[in-house]
Chain A
């Protein structure tokens, strides 16, 4: 029996149940095999971290360019990337986020027009305060291309396009500022976290969709957070998290994605950004994705465990 081969098959999900049973039976009594199993796991984890680090480096290069290039310009993408590093220093695959379930408990943070029912025209670029959506290369649309809104009559189409000639990719972004001040009692303790979730969908004929959710927490009131936004850095009390995900080609139907981030003390505002990215070589019409039903939940961090 080639145990290396069987372990690899099992870890790849290709082993039959009988093979996995055989492996399990041997693992229970054979210390050397159990050690070999752990070594394979360690190799997998290390390769994933290495691969994700390489992928993150690519992502840094393709992060949207800031509007105002200040000496702190470089910190913006670094800060965004650092969110993935925070709790997995050398392994960006471990982030506070990417759960495909809605939060079941917590305090809802009011989101303006969460279903894009047209309560107010979209602002261009970053919004100038709470109570509006801003966007670039986005449009509120009714059902189209075989996609029906998840709720209501409309949804937001993210149609990546060239925002900067030097960018390697096309981008589409939707932005909103959330006001935490009416809910901020718990935030003062520093023991709160926010979960931002939304439903995404692609047209049945679309190419693979690459989307992300970004959360920025700021200690400024909503009216001023977007002023010189891209030049602010963590010295100004800004922290951020980026969660990227993909929807496979032909994977139609609405899917919920989310990102979770702890909030520092004194957070007054959040800027949430929903983006779509596509390679420049890809036809724009092939890369549209749709967004609906945006939610944000404030909750306490988990209680202590006593192992």
Chain B
């Protein structure tokens, strides 16, 4: 089986079992294990510097190609990966000649640092979010997931629901805040349990 074939199969297995088999050749297994471990935090890290989803996705693609092609087992993966991501964001902004007079480069670095600080809790936040989504009324859960699906346009969604875009935004804002509060509560309860 090819390297990619294994990769796809293993990743699918991971998706189902959240468990990493041990049968791959060491470099690839190590990369998969490390990438799986840090992917979510890396994504948050990039988004902290680039709040636009599409731009962040574009940079993540480049980050991951670099990580995949230049993986070195000997180095500290997390430190290296976050360093690559930071450079790729700056390179992206430089290439676009983005005038960041509101969020300047110093602030971007600061947000990146705070994101790196919170990286260890990203996975538990996602688990908590799953539970919080389940607690939402089904209609609200469906709405928020539709709103966050790539390609969804808020104006079209509002029209479809017979709402003004601002009314929809306010509703989503309330749902979103409820989810954030729920995640915080869940994590706090887990910490004291």
Identify the A interface with B (CB < 8 A). Answer: 4-5, 8, 10-12, 14, 17, 20-21, 24, 27-28, 31, 34-35, 37-52, 54-55, 78-79, 82-83, 85-91, 93-99, 190-191, 193, 217, 219, 233-235, 237-239, 244-246, 248, 260, 262, 264-266, 301-302, 304-305, 307
- Interface residue B144 (Cβ < 8 Å from any Cβ of A): yes
Q: How far is the CA of A305 from the CA of B47 in the complex (A)?
A: 20
Which of A4, A48, A305 has a CB less than 8 Å from the CB of B180?
Answer: A4
Which of A52, A96, A98, A246 has a CB less than 8 Å from the CB of B65?
Answer: A96
Tell whether, in the assembled complex, residue B118 and residue A35 are in contact, meaning their CB atoms are under 8 Å apart: yes
Chain B positions 174-189 with a Cβ under 8 Å from a chain A Cβ: 176-177, 179-180, 183-184
Return chain A residues, CB-CB under 8 Å to B4: 217, 234, 239, 262, 264
Tell whether, in the assembled complex, residue A42 and residue B118 are in contact, meaning their CB atoms are under 8 Å apart: yes
Identify the B interface with A (CB < 8 A). Answer: 1-9, 11-12, 14-15, 35-36, 39-40, 43-44, 47-48, 51, 53-54, 57-58, 60-62, 64-66, 68-70, 80, 83-84, 86-88, 102-104, 106-107, 110-111, 114-115, 117-118, 122, 125-126, 129-130, 133, 144-151, 153, 156, 169, 173, 176-177, 179-180, 183-184
Q: How far is the CA of A48 from the CA of B54 in the complex (A)?
A: 11
The verdict on A305 contacting B15 (CB below 8 Å), with A39-B180, A51-B149 known, is no
Return chain B residues, CB-CB under 8 Å to A244: 151
Tell whether, in the assembled complex, residue A34 and residue B65 are in contact, meaning their CB atoms are under 8 Å apart: no
Return chain B residues, CB-CB under 8 Å to A246: 151
In angstroms, how far is the closest chain A Cβ from the Cβ of B112? 9
6 other A-B residue contacts (CB within 8 Å) besides A17-B102, A94-B57, A95-B57: A37-B48, A51-B144, A51-B150, A54-B145, A86-B11, A98-B58
Return chain B residues, CB-CB under 8 Å to A21: 102
In angstroms, how far is the closest chain A Cβ from the Cβ of B14? 6
Q: How far is the CA of A219 from the CA of B1 in the complex (A)?
A: 11
Tell whether, in the assembled complex, residue A307 and residue B84 are in contact, meaning their CB atoms are under 8 Å apart: yes
Residue of A nearest to B104 (CB): A24
Which of A83, A88, A248 has a CB less than 8 Å from the CB of B43?
Answer: A88
The verdict on A87 contacting B84 (CB below 8 Å), with A40-B180, A94-B43 known, is no
Q: How far is the CA of A38 from the CA of B119 in the complex (A)?
A: 10
Q: How far is the CA of A219 from the CA of B6 in the complex (A)?
A: 15
Tell whether, in the assembled complex, residue A91 and residue B151 are in contact, meaning their CB atoms are under 8 Å apart: no
Which of A55, A78, A94 has a CB less than 8 Å from the CB of B60?
Answer: A94
In angstroms, how far is the closest chain B Cβ from the Cβ of A106? 14
Residue of A nearest to B133 (CB): A50
Tell whether, in the assembled complex, residue B180 and residue A262 are in contact, meaning their CB atoms are under 8 Å apart: no
Tell whether, in the assembled complex, residue A264 and residue B57 are in contact, meaning their CB atoms are under 8 Å apart: no
Q: How far is the CA of A82 from the CA of B51 in the complex (A)?
A: 26
Tell whether, in the assembled complex, residue B35 and residue A97 are in contact, meaning their CB atoms are under 8 Å apart: no
Tell whether, in the assembled complex, residue A305 and residue B84 are in contact, meaning their CB atoms are under 8 Å apart: yes
Tell whether, in the assembled complex, residue A4 and residue B64 are in contact, meaning their CB atoms are under 8 Å apart: no
In angstroms, how far is the closest chain A Cβ from the Cβ of B29? 14
Residue of B nearest to A47 (CB): B148
Return chain A residues, CB-CB under 8 Å to B61: 87, 94-99, 260
